[in-house]
Structure 1
Amino acid sequence: MLTELRLQNFKAWKDTESMRLAPLTVIFGTNSSGKSSLGHLLLALKQTVLLTDRKRSLHLGDENSLIDLGTFEDCLYDHDLSRLMSFALSWKSRGDLVLKDILDPSAIFQGDELTLMAEIGASKTEQPETRRFTYTLHQQGHEELIASHGRRDGKPFLDCHPLRLVHAQGRNWGVEAPEKFYRFSDKTLSRYQNAHFLTDFVLEAEHLLENFYHLGPLRSPPKRVYPWSGDTPPDVGAEGELTIPALLAATQQGRKLNRGPKQKYQPFDTFIASWLKDLGIIHEFKVEPIAAGRKEYEVLIQAHGSAPWVKLTDVGFGVSQVLPALVQAFYAPSNSVLWMEQPEIHLHPRVQANLADAFISAIQAREDGENRNTQLIIESHSEHFLNRLQRRIAEGGVTPDEVAIYFVTRNRLGAHLEPLLLNEYGDIENWPDDFFGDDMEDITQRALAAARKRRAQKAQGADA
């Protein structure tokens, strides 16, 4: 689970400064303010991890990748190639990391949180290269071990402290340049007798980013028939195009979830159907093959108790748009990070509010008797979503520590990120100006217009 994020010189961001990420993080902001680019960088990092070419520092994308960010110059703040793009990720490891120096049994380093910081630069005549990356192992906020790898004065280096790396006898070759933005080459590690622990850092970074999933703001329209041959998709797809195959796969595999501690477990399809019903969007929901032995399925909806069953294409657009967000929130593997853009799109205000309850449940849900530890990062424009979230904090359904809320604006220096301070009563203590538009201005102008109209009507009555 990500705990902090910081970007420098990326897209609209000169510097986000340190951004605390909670199990449920919600980002509000004006259009084109830069909030989406926060998730876009994480997508670029994921597709770089998945890339077979270890020499490329950062895979910015093409028509076949998860995202296409253009050229490196396109991605730099002010398109200034003299700047270094920098990012830092902090996350909770899957368990306590215990690192030992094989040359000194008394030297043991233990931690439950990692930070990866990387700097990438380029010129017009060269590809982007990793200038430096640093891993820091933390235990309860204290730095336990730091390993830094990169280029210094044009030459590759590898430093580590307080553990001291010792050269292996007969292996006097130099350190190689970093691979991608986070890897040590095998040749570099083999140069030392006691550098094997560095692969643990790499594996933790890869696990984090491989389990990062993104759902975009534009979802695929509903279909009358969905093919499924028994495969298990990794997620619902960037546009939700794999939602029904994902739901069928999870159900066939016998996955059962509950909504939180001491709640009843349900099969995956029943679980999703119950949430659709509780959102207030339908009465019943099911997915069935069009005929026995066929690999084509149809999604059937009952709008209310006495209504006939109809296909997904024959009901309002909102069901097909919220279904990918709902399935993804519970389908992703445990310890996943999910970034969703405008999951409330096309939904009635009451359903937008209820969606906050579903996402609170997603961070509290259990599967196979274990906490799923899912993290949701939501981009939203919905004040109804926020109001419900504040209400649940006041009621004790979720704590302020489990929630982080940000407001993004744009000024002459680029994007600006403002954390909103939530107290135990659900109040935002530093409510920003013009957060959801100037409501008071509309109320004032409506009252003035009504007063003018009444005076005009009164004057007309007097003339008559």
Structure 2
Amino acid sequence: MFTSLRLINFKAWEDTGTIALKPVTVLLGTNSSGKSSLIQSLLLLKQTAQSPDRSTHLNLGGDEISDLFNFGSFDDVLKRGTRSPREFSIRFAFETHASSQVNAGQFSCSYRQAATGATVIQELALSTGEHRFRAVRKEKENYAIFADNRRPCAKDNHLAPERSIAFPAAAIVALGNKGTLVEDLSLTLRRELENICYLGPFRRKPERDYVWNKTVPGQIESDGHRTIDVLLAGALNKDSKHNEILQGISHWLARMRVADKLTIKQLGRSSHYEIMVHKDGVAANLRDVGIGIPLILPVLVAGYFAPPGSTVILEEPEIHLHPLAQSVLAEFFVTLSRSRHVQFIVETHSEHLFRRMQTLIARRETTVEQIAMLFVERVADNAILRKLKVDEFGRVSNWPQYFFGDALGETREQARLMLARQQK
């Protein structure tokens, strides 16, 4: 789980300051304000950590099959107007749920542009407990390795960091008995980044039937691809978790009042299956129901499929859902973050989701320590972040005016017009 994030000169952000991330973090704000940049910073590191080329410093994307985003060039990531040094940085802190030699740590990496135009690491710092390890670029391809802020223990052109999160073998050797700790730290970092599940706002339409090849997919893709594979594997594999995902999703669809349940129907004796949606005694193929159910399915499946301790990042999960269903999404995030130890970082424009989150706090079904609600706005060329101050009754004391419209003002105006007509 990521516990904090800070961006400097990254896209719309000059400096976010240290942002506290909670088990459920809700990002709100106007269009093109910088919300997505917060999410993209972690996804940029995820696709770098998964790069097949270990010598890569930062994978800005371009491979439509394996990359989450195409960030373009160094100048497309660097905040406009940044002067010397032309450098951006990403920092975060994390805690791990899995058994590991490293239970918590911090990551900090700054990037510059080399004379060749490539994006290179200027300084990588990894720390856990009282130990801090750095790789600092001196000139061209030469890097110096530091341990616990002492004098450099090595300097050479074979010490460049790998995939933004790891020290090379030569650096591990130079660090002596602390080399193993650095390896464990890098491995934990990689696991945290790889366990990010990301769903974007554009998701696939459903098929009429699906083929199951008796395997479990490694992850759900950003457009929701592999969602049904996860459902089929969970329902058709006869293990201790048989049907857990399908039953859980049926429960939330019923709470949202969009369906009573989901079932899986085999077509003859083939390996083809239909996803059936049951509502008011009628069963229909997933392809034949409204678009809301197919679009929310990846969100619900991700919550159950993500490994405990991992992070699910969602952009506009409420797309094509009616107001009640949007409200229930807040309950879904709070419930699964607690029961499955899954972190949710949610970018949304839904007033109904936000209002239900306030109600859950007032009901004491969650607390302000478990929820972070952040508002992002644009002032001139800078993105500005405001942490919404929420009390134990869910009330916000520093809410930006008119972001969700002026419901009270609308009601007042309707009453005024009704009274004026009656007087006439």
TM-score over 0.5 for the pair: yes
Query: Does structure 1 residue 364 correspond to structure 2 residue 331?
Result: no
Secondary structure at 1:401's aligned position in 2? coil
Superposition pairs of residues 158-173 of structure 1, within 5 angstroms: 158-161=145-148
In structure 2, relative to structure 1, the CA distance for the partners of 1:75 and 1:166 (3 Å cut) is closer
Cα distance, 1:193 vs. partner? Answer: 2.6
Counterpart amino acid of residue 49 in structure 2: V
- 1:349 to 2:351 alignment: no
Q: CA deviation at 1:412?
A: 0.8
Aligned match of 1:130: 121
Mapped contact 1:165–1:193 kept (Cα < 8 A)? no
3-state DSSP class of the match of 2:96?
strand
1:131 and 1:164 map into 2 onto residues whose CA distance is: 18
Distance 1:212 1:112, change over 3 A: same
Q: Which amino acid letter does the alignment assign opposite residue 391 of structure 2?
A: N
> In structure 2, which of residues 71, 74, 77 is the aligned counterpart of residue 72 of structure 1?
74
Contact 2:144 2:156 (8 Å CA) reproduced: no
1:146 to 110, 132, 140: 132
1:4-403 residue pairs with structure 2 within 5 A?
4-62=4-62, 63-64=64-65, 65-78=67-80, 80=82, 82=84, 83-94=86-97, 112-122=103-113, 125-138=116-129, 144-152=130-138, 155-161=142-148, 176-194=159-177, 195-254=179-238, 267-292=244-269, 294-304=270-280, 307-365=281-339, 372-403=340-371
Distance 2:350 2:34 in 1: 17
Q: State whether residues 73 and 79 of structure 1, in contact with CA within 8 Å, keep that contact through their aligned partners in structure 2.
A: no
Runs of at least 5 residues in structure 1 that lack an aligned partner in the other structure: 99-110, 139-143, 258-264, 366-371, 459-464
Which amino acid letter does the alignment assign opposite residue 225 of structure 2?
A: E
Amino acid at match of 1:127: A
Deviation at 1:182, TM superposition (A): 2.0
Q: Aligned pair 1:426/2:394, yes or no?
A: yes
CA RMSD of aligned residues (A): 2.5
- The answer to whether the 8 A contact 1:26-1:406 is kept is yes
Structure whose CA Rg is larger: 1
Q: In structure 2, list runs of 5 or more residues that go unmatched.
A: none
For residues 234-281 of structure 1, the C-alpha deviation after alignment (integer angstroms, 9 at most, x for no partner) is 223211122111111123345667xxxxxxx97322222122112211
Q: Assess, with a 3 A threshold, how the Cα gap between structure 1 residues 71 and 174 changes in structure 2: closer, same or farther.
A: closer
1-structure distance, mates of 2:247, 2:163: 43
SS, match of residue 386 in structure 1? helix
The one-letter code of the counterpart of 2:197 is: Y
What secondary structure, in the 3-state scheme, does the structure 2 residue paired with 1:245 have?
helix
Q: Match of 1:146, as an amino acid?
A: R
Aligned length: 419
Alignment check: 8 A CA contact 1:145 1:163 kept: no
The answer as to whether partners of 2:147 and 2:175 remain within 8 angstroms in 1 is no
Post-superposition Cα deviations, 1:105-152, rounded to whole Å, max 9, x if no partner, equal xxxxxx7320100000115742000000111213xxxxx111111213
Shift in Å at residue 21 of structure 1? 0.6
Letter in 2 for 1:268: I
Aligned AA (2:93): S
Distance 2:336 2:43 in 1: 21
Moved more, 126-135 or 60-69: 60-69
Deviation at 1:223, TM superposition (A): 2.0
Amino acid at match of 1:284: K
TM-score (norm 1): 0.84
| Corresponding residue SS for 1:156 | strand
